[in-house]
Amino acid sequence: MNVTFRQLRLLEAVARNSSFTRASEELHLTQPAVSTQIRQLEEEVGMSLFEQMGKKIYLTEAGKEMYAFSRSIAQQFRYIESVLDDMKGVRRGSLSLSVTSTGKYFAPYLLAEFLKLHPGTQIQMEVANRQGLVAELQENIPDLAIMGTPPENMDLTAHAFMQNPLVIIARVDHPLVASARIPLSRLGEENFILREHGSGTRNAVEQFFGERGVKLNALMEMSKNEAIKHAVMAGLGLGIVSMHTLEFELALNRVAILSVEGFPIMKEWYLVHRSSKRLSPVAQAFSEFVLNEAGRIITLPQQQPAIPARRRVTRS
């Protein structure tokens, strides 16, 4: 079988983007050129690698096997390129980083500071929920991942680098905003908008309240922090989110953090990679940078003082 690296690279791009058009744009090629190379690869393999249903394309079983192989080859190629650049003193390379949907609120600030030190680095950042990120780690896709508590059933190297406080938020005019050290039992009277089952935040919340024998009334489940915050601002109930997600809402006085017994729930952020993974020089540099500098770069948002209501002036 005479398969070229170029064909494998094209296959990886098409499969990852689920689109010939987006793959061609990413690789600065014409779509017909990409289609021709994939067709030649299919002829060489002797099987179809993609199937089209409507406007969407999907990998066949043979395509999935070739995709896994091409992805592994691409990662090794990036590693070799990074090592050779490092040996030549060239300060560039590529970094594949996956972050949870909550980590996306601060990860860009880490990357911005890192790129000041390594301006030639190319970054690919993927955002996924916890289940999606764990799946990526299982398939050894990212160089590094930023997440909450790592799964215990995988061979991972994980380093905690920053605290992740989970807080209860309410609409600013909610009656509980004026209360201090609200008992957990009082929360049983409120409706909650929670993250979906399987998310890191939901796991931490269920563990915290389960250990204390308190049952929350989950009025709604949402997979996005933004949706939860908007639901809280709409008055649908209380929410529990990472404090890292609240910078703009607190600055604009759109939500308030409640003073609740036992809160915040203090969790940690971890920088994670597969233990068997050989980190490129760029990935090693980013890992050291995050572990040493994250606490200095990332600061928690602060709750603004309550805005007093304006007094009405009546004229006689």
Residue 55 pLDDT exceeds 90: no
Phi, psi (rounded to 5 degrees) for 173: -100, 15
User: CA 250, CA 156: separation in Å to the nearest integer?
Assistant: 35
| pLDDT value at residue 288 | 96
Q: Please state the rounded mean pLDDT for residues 159-174.
A: 96
Left if phi > 0, otherwise alpha if psi is -120 to 50, otherwise beta: which for 8? alpha
User: CA 91, CA 120: separation in Å to the nearest integer?
Assistant: 6
| pLDDT value at residue 90 | 47
| pLDDT value at residue 163 | 95
Of all residues in the chain, what percent carry a pLDDT higher than 90? 62
What are the residue boundaries of the structural domains of the chain, listed by start? 1-90, 163-267
- Burial of 41 per CB tally in 10 Å (0-12, 13-18, 19+): buried
| pLDDT value at residue 89 | 56
Q: Please state the rounded mean pLDDT for residues 125-146.
A: 92
Residue 158: band (very low, low, confident or very high) from pLDDT cuts 50, 70, 90: very high
Residue 12 pLDDT exceeds 90: no
DSSP letter at 260 equals B
290-312 pLDDT, tens digit per residue, is: 999 999 999 998 886 655 434 44
Residue 217: band (very low, low, confident or very high) from pLDDT cuts 50, 70, 90: very high
Q: Please state the rounded mean pLDDT for residues 176-192.
A: 94
User: CA 141, CA 99: separation in Å to the nearest integer?
Assistant: 12
DSSP letter at 308 equals P
| pLDDT value at residue 304 | 67
| pLDDT value at residue 127 | 94
Q: Which CATH class is domain 1-90?
A: mainly alpha
Minimum mean pLDDT among 36-50, 124-138, 292-306: which range? 292-306
Q: Please state the rounded mean pLDDT for residues 27-47.
A: 90
Phi, psi (rounded to 5 degrees) for 307: -85, 115
Residue 166 pLDDT exceeds 90: yes
219-236 pLDDT, tens digit per residue, is: 999 999 999 999 999 999
DSSP string of 102-162, one letter each residue: TGGGTHHHHHHHHHHHSTEEEEEEEEE-HHHHHHHHHTT--SEEEESSPPTTS-EEEEEEE
Average pLDDT over the chain, rounded to an integer: 89
The answer to whether residues 118 and 91 touch, using CB atoms and an 8 Å cutoff, is: yes
| pLDDT value at residue 239 | 97
Taking alpha carbons only, the member of 180, 305, 304 closest to residue 246 is: 304
Residue 316: band (very low, low, confident or very high) from pLDDT cuts 50, 70, 90: very low
68-122 pLDDT, tens digit per residue, is: 888 877 777 777 776 776 666 546 678 999 999 999 999 999 999 999 998 888 8
User: CA 70, CA 127: separation in Å to the nearest integer?
Assistant: 22
Judged by DSSP in three states, 84 sits in helix
Q: Which CATH class is domain 163-267?
A: alpha beta
